[in-house]
Amino acid sequence: MAAVVSVGRRAPVALTVALLALFAAAVVASITLGSRGVGVADVVRVLTGHGDAVADRGIVEARLARTAVGFLVGAALAVAGAAMQGLTRNPLADPGLLGVNAGAALAVVVAIAVFGVGSLTGYVWWAMAGAGIAAVLVHALAGLAGGGVTPLRLTLAGAAVTAGLASWSSGLLVSSRQSFDSFRFWQVGTIGGRGFDLVVTVLPFVVVGLVVVLLVVRRLNALALGDDLARGLGENVVLARATVAVGVAVLCGASTALAGPIGFLGLVVPHVARFAVGPDHRRIIPVCLVAGPTLLLVADTVGRLVAQPSEVQAGIMTAVIGVPFFVLLVRRGRMASL
């Protein structure tokens, strides 16, 4: 019995060490690799203020900002995906389910086409507002019928709102070639070309979203069991569901505003985490905090290497990398139940 307990304690430690090692390797690769390689020693010299080459300093600073964006977006999307899957009890749920991505996209289109906004800083605020309004609209529609908000109604309302908002976005883009040209660079999903000013702008929203989800992680475990069991455990289901939804909306809105819509990351990472540590969200969320940024940074780095001197955007690479992992999980029957 003591041996079993010892092994059980060592397994989380080994997993933690492995995750942190992979994350550290992804960070180093993100900073040093690209169309022009930068040595670790050069990076250290720039960070300590002893770098002489202006070009190296510019590259390192740009990649540091890119890595910071990747960390924020990866953590936000992975945690939001895990929380959304628990909230809706839908193993295929991802951050686009509640119409958040579609709301952010429509808001950016309106900002470009109607108000002439042309900067990433301007997009951030519009995307955040659009994401929040879309989340509220989805919950309002799901609660129109009697019986309150249920996972099925939430999913259907999210799909309906996403389709409606996407059609409005397409209509506005078709009527304006200039708007389409400006929007397509944001829509593809990328963590490049973002400075620390945008990181500072979005960071408080990501922190707030993460704190909200972490504070209600025990309630998320109860919600994943079903509303009846959650009520039997003494949970206020309406309050718990609303709190989790707010955290998810803030995380999705912040990440989408910063990097554009990036798919599959919020779908695949929670399943990998659930397979590794089980169904307890108190363990899933910390794993997602590390695994999400790791996958996004790896995808972004690979995208920079496969098409030199150009690059494949991170939003495309996450799908290229994420789909085989997801198919493997399904084929091997390892998609853990919620």
Q: Parse the chain into domains and list their residue ranges.
A: 2-331
Residue 149: predicted pLDDT = 67
Share above pLDDT 90 across residues of the chain, in percent, rounded to a whole number: 20
Query: At CA 329, angle to CA 328 and CA 331, rounded to 5?
Result: 65
| Residue 60 amino acid letter | V
Residue 330: predicted pLDDT = 65
Name, in order, each residue with C-beta under 8 angstroms of 173's C-beta and a sequence gap of 6 or more.
109, 113, 179, 180, 183
Residue 51: predicted pLDDT = 58
Cβ neighbours, 10 Å, residue 312: 18
Question: pLDDT category, 85, cuts 50, 70, 90?
Answer: confident
26 has pLDDT over 90: yes
CB 285 within 8 A of CB 216: no
Class of 2-331 per CATH? Answer: mainly alpha
Name, in order, each residue with C-beta under 8 angstroms of 316's C-beta and a sequence gap of 6 or more.
188, 189, 303
Name, in order, each residue with C-beta under 8 angstroms of 311's C-beta and a sequence gap of 6 or more.
35, 192, 303, 304
CB 187 within 8 A of CB 172: no
Query: How far, in Å, CA of 288 to CA of 310, rounded?
Result: 30
- pLDDT, tens digit (0-9, with 9 covering 90-100), for 172-227: 887 777 667 667 766 778 888 888 888 888 899 999 999 999 998 888 888 877 77
> What's the mean pLDDT in 48-59?
64
270 has pLDDT over 80: yes
- pLDDT, tens digit (0-9, with 9 covering 90-100), for 249-265: 888 888 888 888 888 88
293 has pLDDT over 90: yes
9 has pLDDT over 60: no
What are the angstrom distances between the C-alpha of 102 and each of 122, 141, 274? 17, 16, 27
